[in-house]
Each structure stands twice: as structure tokens, then as C-alpha cells.
Amino acid sequence: MKITALKTFIVPPRWLFLKIETDEGIFGWGEPVVEGRAHTVEAAVHELADFLVGQDPSRIEDLWQVMYRGAFYRGGPIMMSAIAGVDQALWDIKGRAANLPVHQMLGGPCRDRIRVYSWIGGDRPADVAKAAKQAVDLGFTALKMNGAEEMQIVDSYAKIDAIAEGISAVRDAIGPHVGLAVDFHGRVHRPMAKTLIRELEQFRLMFIEEPLLSEHIDAIGEVAKGSSTPIALGERLYSRWDFRQALESRVVDIIQPDLSHAGGITEVRKIAAMAETYDVALAPHCPLGPIALAACLQVDAVSHNAFIQEQSLGIHYNGEGRDLLDYLVDPNVFTYANGMVTIPNGPGLGIEVNEDAVIEATKVGHRWRNPLWRHEDGSVAEW
């Protein structure tokens, strides 16, 4: 079998899909994207096609090394996301050719389903208690919310109090035992993170995500000192070499590699195994589309340290018109029940993409960009 073509599709709300075709008619789907840089990653995918067309798609490990080591400049969000989407599609082809789900080719599943969490609220955490209660009523047993608006490197206790009040309202609405995670989103700097983490201890959070930007991993131990709340990060780390420092620092309790950013199934499988040796949990990042989620679930199935999966059904970024299930032939492949989702057992990634719907959606496309925030003094704020 030989690869004959790589076809990309820019589709709303902010996704990029990839279809790899072969001379035997077997194809595979991947989702190579950086949110806000979809067209840039698309260009990188087509540059990789120069190395891939004419190659045997079953040689996944070798092709991964070619894409990564064959370039003098390597790593980073754009290239690793391009590699990730290609890798997903290659595993999809391999599974379809063997009539096996990817997880069976990775050693077989150690679980049949995994807990998922639902996003609540928007970028500015206010008045989210009602949304939290609605999510729990739908059956979710875990939720995540943004925990901070823009914050200066040294800011006021008024902002700390407002954050605590918003989280308190959610906790009151959902009760003490629903999992609640709070994402600092890298918006909080070291001087304020220490105070904020201490204030949130009372809410018995499932985890705090990105208490600082990933480039400040060495300071996380300092800001989290004395807190019992688990610390999670990893959506802005792109390889096992990036994750090595996070694991060796022993300040991270949960890693969150993104299957569309961190080199795909091949790389995240290795990252997950590395984390297991440090007794660190796995919770893949995935506010993306159905192909990315399907890839995550294949890795969740074979990773003993996986405990929960992010998913984008109803997430505020999706807006109206296109959501997680809208590009699938059979939306029921992701069976949600009792706060969990079933691991797909179909060949490859276990999903069937509705290519007609994808092609139609490319007529709309997107140029999604994240908001640009500024502080009151006019300087740029972390978003």
C-alpha cells in the first residue's frame, strides 16, 4: 500500500481535518490544528506531503521519525500539530486495513469507558452556576471552568475575591462531590498565583489547570506549596522532551497532552507511559473536533493512568451551527452515559467522518482567532 494524497479541510467552528488516501482505496482521517493557526498548520501538512506521498502508511513509527528528525528545525506547536494529524490518519488507515480499532493494535484496552468533563461558562467566569447545574442534570459528574479574567502580574484582592465568589456559586449549585476543575489558563502570574491557589483550597477542586504558563514550570512548586489541590498542565507542551521537565520537577500531578498538538497517538502513548513511571495521571486536552476526540479515546483505552477526558460537546468556543457530533455519519459512536463515554470499537479510530458534510462546510471555512485582551493600562494581557 502507498500513500497517494493528503487532503485538508478548513471547517467551522475552528477546526482542520486531514484525509490521507492510498492506492488501495483505504483512507484515514486526522485532525492537525492549532486553534487560531489552522491555515499555518495546513501549510505545514502539505509540506510534509513531500516526504509522505509514495510511502507505505503502515510504517507509522518510521514515518513519524522522518517527519520529526528529517527536519533540521523541529518541535513547537505548528510542526508537532501537523505531525499529530498525519499520525492520527496513519493509525486510522492501519486499523481499517486490519479491521481492528487502534487500541487493539496498541495492546488492547484496559478500560471500556472513561469519565468525561463538561466545560461551563465562557471566558469571563460570572453567572455560571446555572450552566453548571444544567450540565450535572445532563449526567456529567465533572465540570471545568475558567478561573480568571485578565490579571496583572501584581493585581488586586478584589479580583481574587471575585474569582472565589464565582467558584463558590458553582460549588453551591452542584454540591460537594461533583468534580470541579478550575483553569487559570496561564492568565495568572507567579505573585498572584500563590494567593489565588490558597483561596481556592476551600472548594476541594478536582484540579487547578495551568496555574502558571508552562515556561514557568520551575516556579509551580513554589506557588502551590502547602496546597492539596492537584496541579494539571500540558496543553502547551508538544513532545516527550517538553514533558520531561514537567515530570522531573515533580510538581505536576496530571498531564494534559493534546493528541492534535503533541505528535499524535504515537507520541502521546509514549508521554503517557513516561508519566506513569512518575505516578502522574493522564487527562488529554481536547477542546477540538470528533477526530481528535476519537484519537484521545484510543490512547485513554490503553493508558492505565488515564482518568478523565476533556471533550467539546456544547463548549462555548463552538458557538452555533457546528458542534462535536455534526461531522459524523453516526453521532452515537460517542455514547455518553453516567458521566462517561464509551471507547469506540470500530476499525481505526472507530468513527466514520461524513465527508459530504465536511466538503460542504469548507465553503464556510473559518479564520478563528482568540480574543486579544488588554489591561486597564493598555498593555497586552494573557488570554
Residue pair 357/129 in contact (Cβ under 8 Å)? The answer is no
Taking Cα atoms as reference points, which of 36, 30, 37 lies closest to residue 8? Answer: 30
Query: DSSP class of residue 333?
Result: G
Residue pair 338/98 in contact (Cβ under 8 Å)? The answer is no
Question: CB count, 10 Å around CB of 74?
Answer: 15
Sign of CA dihedral 256, 259, 262, 267: positive
Catalogue the active-site residues.
185, 285
Residue type, 166: G
Query: Using omega within 30 degrees of 0 as the cis cutoff, is the peptide bond preceding 257 cis?
Result: no
What CA–CA distance (Å, rounded) separates 314 from 300? 22
What CA–CA distance (Å, rounded) separates 22 from 5? 7
What CA–CA distance (Å, rounded) separates 324 from 15? 10
What CA–CA distance (Å, rounded) separates 34 from 14? 9
What DSSP assignment string belongs to 44-58?
A: HHHHHHHHHTTS-TT
Q: Where do runs of H (alpha helix) occur along 35-189?
A: 38-52, 60-69, 77-98, 102-105, 129-137, 157-174
Longest Cα–Cα distance of the chain, Å, equals 63
Crossing angle of helices 157-174 and 190-200, in 10° steps, is 30
